[in-house]
Structure 1
Amino acid sequence: MRAAYASKFDDDNPLAALAVGDRPEPVPPGDDWVTVEVRASSLNHHDLWSLRGVGLGAGQLPMILGCDAAGIDDRGNEVVVYPVVPTPADPRGMSILSEHHQGTFAERVAVPRANLVPKPAELSFADAACLPTAWLTAYRMLTTKGRVDEAEAVLVQGAGGGVATAAVVLALALGKRVYATSRDAAKRDRIAELGATALEPGARLPERVGVVIETVGAATFDHSLKSAAAGARIVVSGATAGHEPKVNLRRVFAMQLEILGTSMGSAAELADLLALCRDRSVRPVIDSVHGFSAVEQAFARLHSGAVFGKVVLDHTR
């Protein structure tokens, strides 16, 4: 079957480590696993890090890339693949597809049957394929960790990337006032079109917020602290611009702030996210859709840093 996979590692030029070609059909390792025919998948920065060799060893190559997918299961059901797999060999006790188990950038992928979540008919395969990693992370940040139902306003740092853009859309769908920052003027225009108040990084907000979504790190963390209302939750799922920020602990205890880390979410949360998208007509922000025959172009688009939303692969073409 055709697949996109890491054939080697290249930290300086990860695109040079990407290979596209025939790979063996997936072999489910147990009776509780099933093979899914992939109709659509979406890219994450995790895929670029894999090509750089982060989280993979040479002994795991070649590794089919991809965490996110939607498709058809062995019973003919339309499903979304939850990408977190129990993995005793991993120190975390789990891994996501394309780490210890072959990923979703292929015609077919093997996953535990428990990882299949029904796809609402109202969502296309392309829409559904955007949700399991970035959008699920944003949903968990807002709901389970951020308790956004207790807040009136949300700040999203570094909107434009997959998680941050998802957080903007979801917070708006949940009825919150949303402020979002970006260094890029064009991305600020796109943020405003979504319905949020777009700001330059570090700009003073008209109010303090109850939830801050942090995926940037050191470059924005002081602003996040200063923008948080008393008792606010600052939820962190990334550190693209520095992982060792200076933290004013006096502000943390005086304002009784909560700094919470999170990553991904549960299969039940993915089901809740799908229901929210169905019931409130929420659709993922898609930067571009590429046929699987143009997978190299999709990776180049993600690597460019110019994306706004998700980069999607259509496996039917």
Structure 2
Amino acid sequence: MRAAYASAIKPDDPLAALTVGERPEPVLPTDDWVSVEVRASALNHHDLWSLRGVGLRAEQLPMILGCDAAGIDPDGNEVVVHAVIDDPTDQRGYSLLSERHQGALADRVAVPRGNLVVKPAGFSFAEAACLPTAWLTAWRMLTTRGRVADGESVLVQGAGGGVATAAVALGVAMGKRVYATSRSAAKRERVSELGATAVAPGVRLPERVDVVIETVGEATFDHSMKSAAPGARIVVAGCTSGPTPPVDLRRVFWLQLEILGSTMGSANELQSLLAFLTSSGLRPVIDSAHGFTEAEQAFARLASGEAFGKVVIDHTR
């Protein structure tokens, strides 16, 4: 079957570690696993980190990449694949597709049957494929971890990336006052079109916010701290600019701030996200869609840093 996979580890040139070619059909580890015919998948920075060797060892290669997929299950149902696999051998208690088990960037992917969520009829396969990682992460950050409430405001750092853009769109759809930063004037314009107030990085906001969505790290964390209202929740799910920002602990205890880690989400949270999107009419922001034969161009688009929203691969072409 066709697949996009890591054939090497290249910390300084991840795209050189990517191969698009033939791989064996999925192996079902136990009877409760099934093979899903993938109709669409979406890329994440997790895929680029895997090509760099972060969370992936050379002895695991070749490893099919990809966490996000939507497709058809063995019974003919249209489904979204939840990418979190229970894994007692991992210190987190789980692993993601493409970490221990082969990933979703292939014609077919093996997953536990319990990881399949019914795709709502109003979603295309491409839209549904955007949800299991970035959109689910943003949903959990805002709701379960951030506990965003009526009348509260939100700051999203680094809008343009998959999680940050999802958080902007979700926050606006929830009726929150949303501020979002980006170094790119073009991306700030796109943020404004989504209904948020766009600001340049480090700019003082009109108000201190109740929830901060932080995926950038060192470059923005000081601004996140200074923008936080008393009792605010700063929810962290990434550190693309570096993992060790300076933190003024006096501000943490004076303002009784909460700094909360968040990663992915549960299958129940994915179902809640789908229900919210269905009722609100909101759909994922797609930067670009590529045929499977264009997978290398899709990875290059993601690696460029110019994408706004999700980069999708259409497995039907």
Q: Deviations over 1:29-88 (max 9, x none)?
A: 111101100000000011111111111111111100000000000111110000011123
d(CA) in 2 for partners of 1:96 and 1:116? 14
Unaligned runs of 5+ in 2: none
SS of corresponding position for 1:282: coil
Asked if 1 retains the 8 angstrom alpha-carbon contact of 2:205 and 2:227, the reply is yes
- Quick one: distance in 2 between partners of 1:233 and 1:163? 17
For the residue of structure 2 that corresponds to 1:293, the secondary structure is: helix
Letter paired with 1:50: S
- 2:15 corresponds in structure 1 to 15
1:244, distance to aligned residue in structure 2 (A): 1.1
Q: What does residue 193 of structure 1 align with?
A: 193
Question: Residue 219 of structure 1 aligns to a residue in which SS?
Answer: coil
Per-residue CA deviation, residues 255-294 of structure 1 (Å, 9 max, x unaligned), is 1111101100101000100111111011111000000111
Aligned partner of 2:141 in structure 1 is 141
Q: Write out per-residue CA displacement over residues 176-195 of structure 1, whole angstroms, 9 at most, x where no aligned residue.
A: 01000011111111101111
Q: CA deviation at 1:151?
A: 4.9
Secondary structure of residue in 1 paired with 2:149: helix
Check if 1:227 corresponds to 2:203: no
Secondary structure in structure 2 of the residue aligned to 1:24: coil
CA distance in 1, matches of 2:91, 2:194: 40
CA contact (8 A) 1:68 1:130 kept: yes
| 1:151–1:210 CA contact under 8 A, matched in 2 | no
The answer for the alignment partner of 2:241 in structure 1 is 241
Q: Give the conservation status (yes or no) of the 8 Å contact 2:153–2:209.
A: yes
Q: In the alignment, which residue of structure 2 is the partner of 1:50?
A: 50
Matched, 1:283 2:302: no
Separation in 1, partners of 2:222, 2:231: 16
What code does the residue aligned with 1:88 have? P
Q: What amino acid does structure 1 have at the position aligned with 2:255?
A: M
> When the two structures are superposed, what TM-score results if normalisation uses the length of structure 1?
0.98
Partner of 2:152: 152
Whether 1:123 and 2:101 are equivalent positions in the alignment is no
Q: Superposition pairs for residues 1-317 of structure 1, below 5 Å?
A: 1-149=1-149, 151-317=151-317
- Given the superposition, is the C-alpha separation of residues 256 and 91 from structure 1 closer, same or farther in structure 2, using an over 3 Å criterion? closer
Per the alignment, in what secondary structure is the counterpart of residue 204 of structure 1?
coil
Aligned-partner Cα distance in 2 for 1:191–1:117: 30
Does structure 2 conserve the Cα–Cα contact (< 8 Å) formed by 1:151 and 1:209?
no
Counterpart AA for 1:315: H
Q: Deviations over 1:120-152 (max 9, x none)?
A: 001110001000001111000000000012552
| 1:281-317 deviation per Cα after TM superposition (whole angstroms, max 9, x unaligned) | 1111100000011101101111111110000000000
- Structure 1, unaligned stretches of length 5 or more? none
> 2 CA distance for matches of 1:102 and 1:192?
38
SS of structure 1 residue aligned to 2:232: strand
Question: In structure 1, the residue corresponding to 2:252 is in which secondary structure?
Answer: helix
Paired residues of 1:6 and 1:19 also in contact (CA < 8 A) = yes
Kept in 2, the 8 Å contact 1:69–1:129? The answer is yes
Task: Determine the C-alpha separation between the residues in 1 that align with 2:223 and 2:94.
Answer: 34
Per-residue deviation, residues 71-107 of structure 1 (Å, max 9, x unmatched): 0001111100000111233333310000100000000
Structure 2: distance between partners of 1:286 and 1:199: 22
Matches of 1:2 and 1:240 in 2, distance apart?
A: 30
Q: CA RMSD in A?
A: 0.9
2:89 is matched by which residue type in structure 1?
Answer: A
Name the CA distance, whole Å, in 1 between partners of 2:223 and 2:253: 16
Tell me the secondary structure at the aligned position of residue 205 of structure 2: coil
Normalising by structure 2, report the TM-score.
Answer: 0.98
Contact persistence 2:69–2:129 (CA under 8 A)? yes
| Deviation of 1:225 (Å) | 1.1
- Checking the alignment, whether the CA contact within 8 Å between 2:36 and 2:73 is kept in structure 1 is yes
